[in-house]
Structure 1
Amino acid sequence: MNTIIDFMNEIFWGYVLIYGLIAVGVFFTWRLGFVQIRHFPEMFRAVMGSRAGDHAGISPFQALCTSLASRVGTGNLAGVAVALYLGGPGAIFWMWVVASVGMATAYAESTLAQVYKIRDENGQYRGGPAFYISKGLKAPWAGAVFSVCLIIAFGLVFNAVQANSIADAMEGAFGFPKIAVGIALAALSAIVIFGGIRAIARWAEIIVPFMAVAYLLVAIYVVIANITLVPGVIATIIASAFGFDQAVGGIAGAMLNGVKRGLFSNEAGMGSAPNIAAVATPDPHHPSSQGFVQSLGVFIDTLLICSATAIMILLSGVMTPGSELTGTPLTQEAMVVHIGEAGRYFIAVAILFFAFTSIIGNYAYAENAMVFLGAGGKPGLTTLRVALLLMVVWGAYESVATVFNAADAAMGLMATINLIAIVLLSGTVVKLTNDYVAQRKTGRPVFHAADYPELASEIDLEIWSREAEPAKVA
């Protein structure tokens, strides 16, 4: 089994995704007319247009916070440190590249998730790649494979990884036993996930802005305090990206680790964030508005938070040739240089918040996948929730290297399926984008299903037959 998993990872991460992610991002950037640059202000308007959803969905702001809850995790702190250790400073440049073009990919996949969304047996919106693969491409089998991979990777294994990071950080900073941390984390997670997606969205819109702003404020302080060194750090990142600095990995190592870490962190093209994008009530009431919201999520995750971590590490000088420091300890030591011993505790607390929100955000994605597979009733969701909590406890005190390797393979397969699907459905994305932009020039965009006769048999006409129902606070 390990041989098969290793082979799959070599194919996905050595060939398919390292080029496919950038290629698809460039494809959508070009075909949509550099949508992530030309319409950057629209991303903020789409997020702040409404802070309320209707009885079937959550608000755009809650959808952004929930997707950021999953995106902003240990990858932004420990993961960036690992990328620097394995690929050198140049890995950060390739993270920026993946994020910049990935914003267009994120826009495309979340726009599709919106237009193909349905209502479940409880009247709540559901959707995501499995749904647009099944309906738009008439390939329910591929949607099922995607859903199984998502549940394995996001519903189970990645949550064990997040728990492991929290336990390591709490033990290192405060001396807490790992098993105790795991049990406490599972109990806290249970309070949230047993409340369903609405409870997750309410928690996310409180915790995510707080943790992101606090972390960025510290980063801004560090940059200002070392402003004369910042140009040199930027120059080092660029030089290393193109192999001029061969100290670590060269251009191949920088690209591989930057692309892989960029995808793991911002998830653009992976097909995870569209699962929560579909649950939102868009404002304006048009699928493209939620595409803009999730594109902004990629910008915040990688170009702001990951960059902040990388610059703080590089400014600290703790990453020296031959040093074995990597992951969370590297980030902690860098912060100690900048703000003293308090930095060690600050990173431990930041990881607690970042990783905990990732656990609840990942669960929200897995719940959508269960609905697609026909297991979205109480027995199926209870089984998923219990399994997730057990993985959290187990991951807190056990090495997760083996299962993480399997999750990498599952993530690679689901990302490959999703990238193929959104390219095949790109014509719909282009039409929706042109419609939105044209309407925005004269007023408030509204999706009119009658203008899309080719989608009549594929989308829920009742959802899109009128503007959003009277808003109620979700």
Structure 2
Amino acid sequence: MLDLLNELLWGKVLLVLLVAVGIGFTIASRFVQFRYFGRMFQILGSRQAFRHDKHGHLSSFQALVLSVAGRVGGGNIAGVAVAITLGGPGAVFWMWLVGVMGMATSFLECTLAQTFKQPQDDGTYRGGPAYYIVKGLGRNWRWLAGFYSALLLLTFGFAFTALQSYAVSTSFNDAFGVPVFYSGIALAMLVGLIIFGGIKRIARISEVLVPFMAVGYLLIALIVVGMNIDRVPEIVTLIVKSAFGLEPAIGGGIGAAIMMGLKRGLFSNEAGLGSAPNVAAVAYVPHPANQGIVQAFSVFIDTVIICSSTAFLILLSGVYDPGAGGNVEGIALTQAALADHVGEWGRSFVSVALLLFAFSTILYNYYLGENSLNFFSRNNQNLFNAFRVAIVLLVCWGATTDLGTAFGFADVTMGLLAVTNLVALILLFKKGLRILKDYDDQRRQGVSQPIFDASQHPDLNLYPQAWELEPEDRERLRASGAKAQPAPSTTKA
């Protein structure tokens, strides 16, 4: 049954929806992910990207690294290896394509999440697909928002958390001989110490951990590519030819390459799933499109940079033979490939990298689960604490359990999650384009940093206080040439 559902979702339904939203918004937005690619670096290099307001909302940079923490996980190391094993080298090409389209999709969903973010009792905000479905489509669609929240809790809060723990424990067992039970206990204790501190503590840890782990992994990948620079053109040619069936039968053929590239690409970068918007919504930014641009960059980091690094580590090694069966699979393939390049310490390096990636992802998964629970029971601290205890126990259980069936279940729930969110994005397509147009118009008028005025969009029924900048930021942006922000609104949510 799981296989049939997976084939239906990934082989037919999602293929159409992902292409429709990704290519559709790319064209309708006049290739926003390329037009504003340089702008991504300008935003992240600005002082505003690191600004907090009086309520301590996440900065734009913190929201970025937290979403990268979620995107960059086991899918970048074990998932790429699985895609290559089952779909052949051509799966990498389709992962790239999903990543490029996903940048536009991520821009749309994260911009909408910022636009429709909701104030909380403590002065902070929450947002995400459940919130932009209800606010953007109306109360009659609350059932869809509830369905999405339940799927988000099942997929990220539970299934993916257990899978990340499983990947770490099996990797450490293979590299260091550490029993999976002890790995699970240690990981659960670390996770528990952080998640009981809430989103702000998670963001502070991620702000330090994510750049460190990403740069370290990229550095070793660049060293390997440098050692084999003469073979890089050959590998790129192999990837492209295999993607279109121009090589002898490799993996499962062109169909398997497309399906595995699509599935593992989405699993890795999450563009279209609606997970990243839950984090993007709480950032303190002057315009919704600001965070949309930043989140598009996080997809580029995940798929085009990190996933490509793993793919080249594997394909440049002597461990993986595209024309032969019997290759090692999953995380063991990545470990064996790096060991082939740099010696046995490479196996240990991959295990440590996976630990850091999976650890940050579990923290991110926790927050998504908490956000789902908040949709059903607003700011219920007793419910949040119960969920935190469940996460700690789940990390222990996942480390010691064969999760073969759980992988199939997670693929199905992830597919349903994506379908739900992509349908909502199609229905909110025009509203997303309107917010982008507001940003484009201000930029065209010479405004260096566009500022969003919620009062200019009364039909969207937004929360005006979500767009009140701190006085010093308003003055600084005005002095730097930005359009002056209207006086703070007194309208109540």
Give distance in 1, aligned partners of 2:255 and 2:217. 31
Match of 1:130 in 2: 130
Match of 2:27 in 1: 30
Report deviation, 1:453: 2.2
Give distance in 1, aligned partners of 2:406 and 2:150. 15
On the 8 A contact 2:454/2:463 being kept in 1, the answer is no
SS in structure 2 at match of 1:77: helix
SS in structure 2 at match of 1:281: coil
Give distance in 2, aligned partners of 1:339 and 1:438. 52
On the 8 A contact 1:375/1:381 being kept in 2, the answer is no
Match of 1:202 in 2: 204
Give distance in 2, aligned partners of 1:99 and 1:468. 35
Amino acid of the structure 1 residue aligned with 2:5: M
Match of 1:354 in 2: 357
The alignment status of 1:39 with 2:36, answered yes or no, reads: yes
Report deviation, 1:323: 2.1
Give distance in 2, aligned partners of 1:12 and 1:121. 39
SS in structure 1 at match of 2:316: helix
Report deviation, 1:47: 2.7
Amino acid of the structure 1 residue aligned with 2:365: N
Report deviation, 1:469: 6.0
On the 8 A contact 1:281/1:468 being kept in 2, the answer is no
**Runs of 4+ that moved beyond 6 A:** none
Amino acid of the structure 1 residue aligned with 2:95: M
Distance 1:164 1:447, change over 3 A: same
Report deviation, 1:10: 2.8
SS in structure 1 at match of 2:33: helix
How do residues 325-336 of structure 1 correspond to structure 2 at under 5 angstroms? 325-336=328-339
Give distance in 1, aligned partners of 2:436 and 2:470. 19
Match of 1:192 in 2: 194
Amino acid of the structure 2 residue aligned with 1:13: W
Match of 1:451 in 2: 456
Match of 2:478 in 1: none
Match of 2:486 in 1: none
Report deviation, 1:440: 2.3
Match of 1:100 in 2: 100
On the 8 A contact 1:65/1:205 being kept in 2, the answer is yes
Give distance in 2, aligned partners of 1:389 and 1:376. 21
Match of 1:11 in 2: 8
The alignment status of 1:386 with 2:389, answered yes or no, reads: yes
Report deviation, 1:468: 4.3
Matched residue count:
463
How do residues 268-279 of structure 1 correspond to structure 2 at under 5 angstroms? 268-279=271-282
Alignment equivalent of 2:424, drawn from 421, 426, 432: 421
How do residues 251-330 of structure 1 correspond to structure 2 at under 5 angstroms? 251-282=254-285, 285-320=286-321, 321-330=324-333
Alignment equivalent of 2:433, drawn from 421, 430, 433: 430
Give distance in 1, aligned partners of 2:387 and 2:13. 30
How do residues 32-181 of structure 1 correspond to structure 2 at under 5 angstroms? 32-49=29-46, 50-54=49-53, 55-138=55-138, 139-181=141-183
Give distance in 1, aligned partners of 2:276 and 2:197. 20
Amino acid of the structure 2 residue aligned with 1:423: I
Give distance in 1, aligned partners of 2:423 and 2:30. 20
Give distance in 1, aligned partners of 2:82 and 2:209. 26
Amino acid of the structure 2 residue aligned with 1:254: A
Unaligned runs of 5+ in 1: none
On the 8 A contact 2:455/2:464 being kept in 1, the answer is no
Match of 1:232 in 2: 234
Report deviation, 1:289: 0.3
Give distance in 2, aligned partners of 1:381 and 1:375. 10
Report deviation, 1:299: 0.1
Match of 2:367 in 1: 364
Give distance in 2, aligned partners of 1:145 and 1:470. 41
In the superposition, the TM-score normalised over structure 1's length comes to: 0.95
